[in-house]
Amino acid sequence: MTYALPRMAAALGLAGLAFTAATPAAAQRCAGTYSATAIHPLPQPIVARLDIRDNSPENLRLGESFLKGVRDGGARVDGVANAVISITYSVIDLNAGLGGTEGPSYEGFGGFSGGPDPSLPGSSRMRLRQPAHPHAPVTLSLRAEVTQPGSTQVSWVLSLQCQMTEQEPVSLAYDVGRMVGGTIGQTVRPRGF
């Protein structure tokens, strides 16, 4: 389901400063690396909307936080959208045993991703043994893709991987949104944050 941004109003410009210009708390919540690739030019000015899988209250709260971050990062989110953002992610938690969990089973993030769910039903909830690494950090791998409305051709991609030190999904959604808003349409070589 696509949720248009103008309804979500309640809740980085230079590529080199994009995510490092976010809040200092961002690096405290999830430290890692990211990169972005502009595949095709996007119309200017970019006006974004978020593709959301469902419209549950929890999911809408995450979407609002993400879009607030996109706006605070420098992209427009009001008006007629010319860029559709889809998010896919996985969360690897070695503390859960069996090597991890995937996004849809991670508390607080269910349904935030857009597009099809590639996981097998119930596979991420299996526990066959005790945790191999009882205090290992939780790893978030996230991909944001931008298409133009009515098109399936990806115009821009952002990839990030980070170690989550704080598992607060609403704040993390804002941080990722700010990264997307500050880099959307640009190519950014891999860098840390």
How do the domains of the chain map onto residue ranges? Answer: 2-115+133-191
User: Phi, psi (5° rounding) for residue 163?
Assistant: -95, 120
pLDDT one digit per residue (tens) for the chain, 193 residues: 333 322 222 222 222 233 333 444 555 688 999 999 999 999 999 999 999 878 899 889 999 999 999 999 999 999 999 999 999 989 888 776 544 444 434 444 555 555 444 444 444 444 434 445 557 788 999 999 999 999 999 999 999 999 988 778 899 999 999 999 999 999 999 999 8
Query: Are 48 and 101 contacting, i.e. CB atoms less than 8 angstroms apart?
Result: no
* Strand, coil or helix: 190: strand
Q: Which CATH number fits domain 2-115+133-191: 3.30.460, 3.30.160, 1.10.730, 2.40.30?
A: 3.30.160
Report the distance separating Cα 45 and Cα 48, nearest Å.
Answer: 10
CA distances from 118 to 13, 62, 121, 123 (A): 33, 21, 9, 11
Report the distance separating Cα 25 and Cα 166, nearest Å.
Answer: 10
In DSSP notation, 93-135 reads -GGGSTT---GGGSTTTTT-S-S---SPTTGGG---SS-SSTT
